[in-house]
Structure 1
């Protein structure tokens, strides 16, 4: 017996950091979007606990199993389809797809919200992220209205038929940013401003515009990221471009993939906005 759950990757355009003594209420507000690629977790029968991950290590899996206090034997297979540590929400997708898959496989009877809360706790405990888990329960372009885990925070989803291109120049240690007091203040001040603007007019154009302004104001962009973002934003057929938070990664939007295929940018990946969200196989 086996079952699989797919959770899409998530890229944030702008955000605030919302601290709280209670882990489930700690998180972030802001806006981002879901990709067609993400993390697929498969749970299958085994005589012992086996963990097979195609990249990275088992840190996230170990943390989830620790929180859930599960000591049953089974095999966990994870297909991580995006770069880790580069702003794609892979640790959150890993945690959420695992809790959802285990819930079905072991017939635990947990609600989707409870599974999301477990995944959120794992994310916060590891310092890997703040708002990806709740965003990954949505679809398309996702606005995080109130911070916290699923069932506590609040989101709004917006569907758009657009293509996305991305290129990563490597990772950024998320915990080094979100736990740094100076970065914390600058990010939250800029994030709150653009969050309020976006809530008034939640259009795709505003998301791209505010994301670019946010990335410039926070000075989180490396030179190589800024150069590519500026190049994309100078192209007439590209709707907008910015930095994926928090990663050394560039994203851009266009109406169709041919726009990106005509660009001579090495290692440019083309995707689509994911208007479906989580998929149970």
Structure 2
């Protein structure tokens, strides 16, 4: 027997950090979007517990298994299709795809919201993210209206037919930023301002505009990221560009794929906004 679940990667443009003493209510509000690439987890029968991950380690997997208190033999295979620690929500996609796949494989019959809450708990416990799990239960562009895990927080999804290009210059230690009091205060103050603006008019252009302003006002952009973002924003055939939160990564939108294909930028990947979301195979 085999079960497979795909969870899309998620890039945040701007956000606020929302603290709560109850972990399931911990998280963030903000806006982001889903990619066609993400993390696929496959569970197969085995005589012992086997974990195969194509990049990184099994930290997230181990945490999900610990929370679920599962003592069963099977093989876990994870295909992580995006860079780790670079603002793509790969740890959340890893946790959520595993939780959902195990639910199918073991016939646990948990509600999908509970599977999402398990993944959210893993993220909070590891300090690897604050709002990607609930966003990854949506599709297209996702507005996180209320913080927390699936079933507790609230999101709104918007579909757009648009191409996404991205280039990663490496990772950022997410936990060092979200746990630093100064960073948290600046991020939340600036993020709240643009979140309120975006809730009034949730357009694609506003998302790009507010994401860029957020990244500059919080001083999170590195020099190499800002240089590429400014170049992409100078082009008429590109809708806009900014930095992925939190990662040393640039993203940009365009209606026409050729706007990116004609660029001579090493390491630039072209994707499409994912209007489908999670897929169970």
For Structure 1 versus Structure 2, the TM-score category normalised by the shorter chain is over 0.9
Matched, 1:268 2:274: no
The CA distance in 2 between the partners of 1:114 and 1:263, in whole Å, is 44
Q: Deviations over 1:206-250 (max 9, x none)?
A: 000000000000000000000000000000100000000000000
The corresponding residue for 1:40 is 40
Matched, 1:223 2:215: no
The CA distance in 2 between the partners of 1:230 and 1:125, in whole Å, is 36
The corresponding residue for 1:9 is 9
The corresponding residue for 2:95 is 95
Per the alignment, in what secondary structure is the counterpart of residue 20 of structure 1? coil
The corresponding residue for 1:116 is 116
> What is the deviation of 1:23?
0.4
Q: Which runs of 5+ in 2 are unaligned?
A: none
The CA distance in 2 between the partners of 1:111 and 1:43, in whole Å, is 19
1:67-86 superposed matches below 5 A: 67-86=67-86
The corresponding residue for 1:178 is 178
The CA distance in 1 between the partners of 2:14 and 2:256, in whole Å, is 24
The corresponding residue for 1:189 is 189
Q: Which runs of 5+ in 1 are unaligned?
A: none
The CA distance in 2 between the partners of 1:155 and 1:128, in whole Å, is 20
> What is the deviation of 1:261?
0.5
> What is the deviation of 1:156?
0.1
The corresponding residue for 1:58 is 58
The CA distance in 1 between the partners of 2:267 and 2:97, in whole Å, is 27
The corresponding residue for 2:160 is 160
Per the alignment, in what secondary structure is the counterpart of residue 232 of structure 1? helix
The corresponding residue for 1:19 is 19
Q: Deviations over 1:175-222 (max 9, x none)?
A: 000000000000000000000000000000000000000000000000
Q: Deviations over 1:51-104 (max 9, x none)?
A: 000000000000000000001000000000000000000000000000000000
> What is the deviation of 1:167?
0.2
> What is the deviation of 1:256?
1.7
> What is the deviation of 1:257?
1.2
The corresponding residue for 2:142 is 142
The CA distance in 1 between the partners of 2:83 and 2:49, in whole Å, is 26
- RMSD, matched Cα: 0.3
TM-score (norm. length: structure 1): 1.00
TM-score (norm. length: structure 2): 1.00
Q: Deviations over 1:145-170 (max 9, x none)?
A: 00000000000000000000000000
Per the alignment, in what secondary structure is the counterpart of residue 31 of structure 2? strand
> Alignment length, in residue pairs?
281
The CA distance in 2 between the partners of 1:175 and 1:186, in whole Å, is 16
Matched, 1:246 2:243: no
